[in-house]
Amino acid sequence: MSWIQHYDPLTKTKLVVGGFSIYSPETKELHLEIEDQANNTKDSWTLDVHLCKSTGVNKPVFIATNVDLN
């Protein structure tokens, strides 16, 4: 389980928003509940997770996205 952050690409800042995420290693899915009042976003997503090929210090173990990475 983890928290949710909003990333602003213009200011390059990250702000914690309401919500949470849960990762299921059995189904390789990430479920997100988002309640970002500042950006008027209230939604829930379930995303497929893909393990990263290169892991290490300060690198993610997996990635989940709502766009095709191919």
Chain segment 16-52, per-residue pLDDT in tens: 999 999 999 899 999 999 999 999 999 999 999 988 8
For the cut 90, the answer to whether the pLDDT of residue 67 exceeds it is no
The domain of 14 spans: 5-53+62-66
User: Residue 31 corresponds to which tokens in the numbers above?
Assistant: 């479920």
pLDDT at 66: 75
For the cut 80, the answer to whether the pLDDT of residue 13 exceeds it is yes
Number of domains the chain contains: 1
Phi, psi (rounded to 5 degrees) for 52: -75, 145
